[in-house]
Structure 1
Amino acid sequence: MTLSRSPDPELTRQDLDNEIDLGTLWQGVRRRLPLILLVSLLVALAVYLVLRTRPPVYEAGASIITSSSQSQIGVVGGPVVSPLPEGTVTQVVQSPLILRPLIEAVRASSAIEPAERGRLARVLNRELLDEDTLKRSQNSTVSVVTGPGAGGENGVYTLKARARTPRAAQVLANLASEQLLAWDVERALRDVRRAQQNFQAQLAQIDRRLALPGLTPQERLTLIYRRANMQDNLSQLSLLESARVGVLRPLVGAVEPLRPVSGSPLLNAVLAGLLTLLLGLGAAALRVALDRTVRREDDLLTFGLPTLATLPRLRPSRLGPPTLGPGEGGLAAREQGLRGALGFLRVGLQTALHGRTPPILMLAGVTGGEGTSTLAAVLASTLASSGKRVLLIDADLRRGTQQRLWDPSNGGPVWQQLCGKGGARTLEDALGEPDNVQVMEVAPHLHLLPAGPGEQDGLGLLSRPELGRALRRWGGRYDLVLVDSPPLLTLADGMVVGQQVDAVLIVTEADRTRLQAVRQVLRHAQAAGLPVLGFVLNKAAVPAAAARGLRPAGSTRPLQEVRGR
């Protein structure tokens, strides 16, 4: 049977990659749901504890109104006291013109508790020294809320004051209102006195002109009339000065608030927890939607190659300790869970490799960590338990793991002659002496040729022309030669070995292997002429019933789970 080569990578760029399956979206969110719930609970608890330790904050307000007679505050010829432009009251309240006398008034007030009085004085003093005007206005203890008509006639301003006791909030609001009214009166008095000086100067000029000789009777009458007006204006200004008239008038004084404005700690904690939960669910859904990793078998179908098996992810508790006896723990327990899923893989391999004597199959990951070595060991053990003679070769000369996977502690390893007499016991040595090789018997009908202690130049050894002939010769006594290859995208060693085998099976890991990495591997495999058979989706989230396997017919030496490959 002729194996299909890697498809054109350009054909894999299909619109299916951009589809979002609601079932997959829910599965991704559900996997992260325990963490999201935990974080939401912790945030709610933290907000509750923080708010419980903070004292309550009370807010009181005093209202003032813009006088409707401000346009009439003047004398004959026009107004004297200028109106307040829009926004003036808000800026003045946050300025030293109000804060300095307000601090002194707070310190002198006996209506506020001593502890709260000192705290308010310190807070107001910090606000006075704060150079950031915007920050000061947003977080100020005393603020202004503009009502309807503010800035014009009959406009309303409300001064809000915050404190830790209801009485302190009431007193602070009234004191701020008094200081604002006092500032407005002083501003009006300055305008009145400036107008008095102006009229007095005009009156002196009229008196000098009346003393000049040669005035006509009409001119003298005109000057006398103007002099009378000036004197009348000065009289009105004297009345305004004594009345201390301003633009602002008190409207409603502050009262003690009944409830704090800081809110309920429990309610705020619940709201914070719900907000964190919603944000977490949104972030998880967005991450799943933007995730371009292999999640299910349908994602691999876009590459035009079959998926021979989907293997479940078993919980660590099902693996058991690696130190148990034969048939227990380690990969033996994993083999029981994978046996049902491996049946599909065995059927697919028998169909694809029919007619090869012996067939040489290479298992290779994409970037590493897909569980390729573990899968190779379990597959070899399963085939051997059914009576197949299997030779397992660890071709990762840089970081071989098969010898560590199989536990040789129970009685030590048993070596059998593969060809020649004595000779090499690792692939590294066997490539230099291919006619004298020994293999390790790790289970009935299952032999292992380890990679060796590690070789920096593994590519140079694997590139030797006798590699293909050696694989055929070593596999003459077996029904299947299984090669555990290094990741195809990490090292070029796998590409070299893949040119000498009958089929290459690419191992991907669910929710980890990126689709772009698979495309790149297929592109390299096509350039190197690798006979890619298909994919295996490892560590997939499948129902427990599908992951439940049967106990192997024969026992094997215990295997140890190795992270990484």
Structure 2
Amino acid sequence: MQSPPPRPANADQIDLKQVFGTLRRYAPLLIATPVVIAGLTYALSSRQPKVYESSASIIAVDSNAQNSLINNTLVTAPPLPQGAVEQVLHSRSLVSNIVERLRKSDLPDDIVRKMREDLSSELSANVFNRLKVRARLDTQQRGVYEILAQGESPEAARQLAENGVAALLEWDNARAKQSVTRSRQSLQAQLQNLTARIDSLTDPLERQSLVSARGQVLQNLSQMAVLETAATGTLLPVAEAVAPTSAVSPRPLRNAALAGLLSLFLATGLVLLSDSLRRRVNGAEDLLPLGLPVLAQLPLVRRRNLAGGFLPASHSGPLYESIGFLRINVLSMLGESSHRRLVISSSYPGEGKSSMTAALAESLGASGQKVLVIDADLRRPTQLKVWAPDRIGTHPLPGTDTSLPPANTVTEMFLHPDAAYATRVGNNVDLLPAGVPHRGDGAGSILNQPAFRTYLDRWSEGYDFVLIDTPPMLGLPDTLAVAPYTDGVILVVEGGKTRLNDVERSLQNARVANVTVLGIVLNKVARTNDTYYAYAYGTPDQKADAAPVLPTGRG
């Protein structure tokens, strides 16, 4: 019996062809999902209220002038540390100042109310969207601050930016005046104290001394008043805010494109993850836990090699050798018993069971065995298409009354068992075709009737092998209805496509029905250059360049 092939050296690596094949199988879903998500996103974004953004700029300058006279006559605030402007702009006192300025503006009351509520809620959440600061500073904290403001209208955005800058400048100037104001207040306190003492003294000499001191305080107080008026901060306006012409949000096209791309990535990831979790049969080693022998591994047949049909393509090359291994394994497994009957099935359509049945029958016939092929897939018959007989002719089966009109299909034979005729399709190979495809439960009722076993015994007389092509096991119960009258089932599994849990489900159904599964044929296997008969396994992408083992129909 054929030994399982060695595990390829790159078995643990990602098979890109299989990945692309998986994506191609799910292409409709992967295309439809982003389109639907993008369309919904566009529709929802279009309905959202528009938001406009305006900006105004201020500059942070050096507090020390180059002219000593200016330095002596001006009071400037110290430089602001990094992040100070943003912290101040998002402080409660400055927000209150901005809100008060908005109330005095000509903006509609509903917009002002909405802006006030948003600014207050942003303070509580410490997440700011209405007013933002973008700084471009050097190492000495000199540079430009850009105040970004968002509003429900272009004018609302402009006025919010302007009021934010105005509140910042007012705060900066107040910061510069603080030290001078404290000095002036201290001098005023001194002046009041001196005046009170002068009024209470009677000594002329002491009184004259205090009057002189009060004059000096008055002079200092006058200078402080001038300095307080000239005090300035380190922030200066650069560019005033301008009403924007277009909204910054929503952007339906951008949002739709991003949502479409994101949904495409997510759908692709989910498809690949789901496909990887649903493990496929990618080698004979995947079938070892099932405890069944791999009777053969049939290579994938390229489309260009199927111009003359599948059976002519099986007469040479690796497929010929593979069918030979299958024939030898089947003969060894069944021994020399007479009337050997086999059911050929699969888990799903398209795995190549019908083509493999025909190829095995032809190989057995060529070795001198008389073979009868019964197409029991009454809903989707395929055997006639595989064989494509050139009017080889028909002949009556044992027990047939030749005076009756011939019954040439399984359905007709079941209705008229005494008029059964077989179609000669090859050397030592006869076929009982299914006939016109059945719809509904009619086909299943034929195979489930007790009389079918009697007819099967009659039709099998004179043949060494009877191969019965039945529907897929996971789709219909017909295989389980026919298999008890045979030696067992050979399960066809498509390499690189059939999922291992589907094979396990088919075997579980067979065990429950007390049906014997003799072995597995691994089909549509892609060849490698490592060995003559040790093949790697075909991927869906490789099948794009290759016809399925079944050239027509869905066997």
TM-score, length basis structure 2? 0.59
Partner of 2:521: 536
CA offsets, 1:295-353, max 9 Å, x none? Answer: 11111111111101011112212222xxxxxxx44431144341101111111111111
Per-residue displacement from partner, 1:421-478 (whole Å, max 9, x unpaired)? Answer: 3442222232333332112222232211112222321222211112222222211121
Corresponding residue for 2:552?
562
Q: 1:406-485 maps to which residues of 2 (within 5 A)?
A: 406-408=387-389, 410=390, 412=391, 414-419=393-398, 420-421=400-401, 422-455=405-438, 456-457=440-441, 458-485=443-470
Q: Deviations over 1:104-147 (max 9, x none)?
A: xxxxxxxxxxxxxxxxxxxxxxxxxxx9966997xxxx953566
Q: Provide the rounded CA distance (Å) in 1 between the counterparts of 2:420 and 2:80.
A: 103
Identify which of 285, 296, 303 aligns with 1:316. Answer: 303
Q: 1:209 to 1:532 in 2, by over 3 A?
A: same
- Corresponding residue number in structure 1 for 2:311: 331
Determine if contact 1:199/1:234 at 8 Å carries over to the other structure: no
* Secondary structure, aligned partner of 1:382: helix
Distance 1:433 1:145, change over 3 A: farther
Shift of 1:294: 0.5
Distance (whole Å) between structure 1 residues aligned to residue 177 and residue 434 of structure 2:
103
Following TM superposition, by how much is the alpha carbon of 1:386 offset from its aligned partner in structure 2, in angstroms? Answer: 3.0
Partner of 2:494: 509
Letter in 1 for 2:135: V
| Aligned residues between the structures | 404
Q: What are the Cα deviations for residues 354-390 of structure 1, in whole angstroms up to 9, with x where unaligned?
A: 2332101111101222111111112212222333221
Q: Matches of residues 335-354 of structure 1 in structure 2 within 5 Å?
A: 335-337=315-317, 338-354=319-335
Counterparts in 2 of 1:308 and 1:135: CA distance versus 1, 3 Å: farther
Q: Where do 1:15-34 residues align within 5 Å?
A: 23-26=10-13, 28-29=15-16
Structure 1 Cα separation of the partners of residues 135 and 321 of structure 2: 74
SS at match of 2:417: coil
Could you say which residue in structure 1 is the equivalent of 2:135?
Answer: 144
Corresponding residue number in structure 1 for 2:538: none
Question: Over aligned residues, Cα RMSD in angstroms?
Answer: 5.3
Map 1:79-98; keep pairs closer than 5 Å: 81=77, 84=80, 86-89=82-85
- Say if 2:228 is the partner of 1:232: no
User: Paired residue for 2:345?
Assistant: 364
User: SS at the partner of 1:499?
Assistant: helix
Partner of 2:518, secondary structure, is strand
**In the alignment, structure 1 residue 522 sits paired with structure 2 residue 512:** no
Q: 1:64-463 maps to which residues of 2 (within 5 A)? A: 81=77, 84=80, 86-89=82-85, 143-145=134-136, 154-155=140-141, 187-191=171-175, 216-217=200-201, 232=220, 235-236=223-224, 238-239=226-227, 241-242=229-230, 245-247=232-234, 292-320=279-307, 328-337=308-317, 338-408=319-389, 410=390, 412=391, 414-419=393-398, 420-421=400-401, 422-455=405-438, 456-457=440-441, 458-463=443-448
Contact 1:510 1:537 in 2 (8 A): yes
Alpha carbons 1:318, 1:334 under 8 Å: kept: no
Compared with structure 1, are the counterparts of its residues 227 and 434 closer, same or farther at alpha carbon in structure 2 (3 Å cutoff)? farther
Relative to structure 1, the CA distance from residue 203 to residue 92 in structure 2 (aligned partners, 3 Å threshold; closer, same or farther) is: closer
Q: Residue 423 of structure 2: SS of its match in structure 1?
A: strand
The answer to whether the Cα contact below 8 Å between 2:348 and 2:474 also exists between their aligned partners in 1 is yes
Q: What is the rounded CA distance, in whole Å, between the counterparts of 2:433 and 2:218 in structure 1?
A: 117
Name stretches of at least 5 consecutive residues in structure 2 with no aligned partner: 1-6, 24-57, 66-74, 96-121, 147-163, 237-268, 535-548
Q: Secondary structure at the match of 1:294?
A: coil
Alpha-carbon offset, residue 488 of structure 1: 0.7
2:528 and 2:344 map into 1 onto residues whose CA distance is: 25
- Secondary structure at the aligned position of 1:25 is classed as coil
Q: Secondary structure of the residue that 1:476 maps to in structure 2?
A: coil
SS of match in other structure, 2:527: coil
* Separation in structure 2 between the aligned mates of residue 330 and residue 224 of structure 1, nearest angstrom: 126
Structure 1: where are the runs of 5+ without partners?
Answer: 1-19, 37-61, 70-78, 98-130, 149-153, 161-179, 250-281, 321-327, 549-558
Matched to 2:173, the amino acid is L
Partner secondary structure for residue 396 of structure 2: strand
CA–CA distance in 2 between the matches of 1:505 and 1:348? 12
- Which residue identity lines up with residue 454 of structure 1 in the other structure? P
SS at match of 2:290: coil
* Contact 2:491–2:521 (8 Å) recurs in 1: yes
CA distance change for structure 1 residues 444 and 303 in 2, over 3 Å: closer, same or farther? same
Letter in 2 for 1:527: V
Aligned partners of 1:407, 1:223: CA distance in 2, in Å?
134
Q: Give the conservation status (yes or no) of the 8 Å contact 1:196–1:234.
A: no
Partner in structure 2 of residue 491 of structure 1:
476
Distance of 2:76 and 2:490 partners within structure 1? 96
Counterpart of 2:316 in structure 1: which amino acid?
Q
Structure-2 change in CA distance of 1:528 and 1:182 (3 Å): closer
Q: 2:190, 2:217 within 8 Å by CA — same for their partners in 1?
A: no
CA separation of 1:358 and 1:88: change in aligned 2, threshold 3 A: same
Kept in 2: contact 1:199–1:230 (CA 8 A) = no
Quick one: distance in 2 between partners of 1:223 and 1:498?
A: 130
Q: What is the rounded CA distance, in whole Å, between the counterparts of 2:222 and 2:9 in structure 1?
A: 85
Contact conserved, 1:394 with 1:450, CA < 8 A, in 2? yes
Answer whether contact 2:342 2:489 (CA < 8 A) is retained: yes
Whether contact under 8 Å (1:468, 1:501) holds in the other structure is no
8 Å Cα contact 1:393/1:451 also seen in 2: yes
Give the counterpart letter for 1:87 in structure 2. Answer: G
Q: Which stretch has the larger CA shift, 284-293 or 423-432?
A: 284-293
Query: Partners of 1:506 and 1:362 in 2: how far apart?
Result: 8
CA distance in 2, matches of 1:564, 1:436: 29
TM-score, structure 1 length as denominator? 0.58
Q: Give yes or no for contact 2:176–2:233 (8 Å, CA) kept in 1.
A: no
Alignment partners' CA distance in 2, 1:240 and 1:213: 28
Cα separation, 1, equivalents of 2:144 and 2:432: 88
Counterpart secondary structure, 1:431? helix
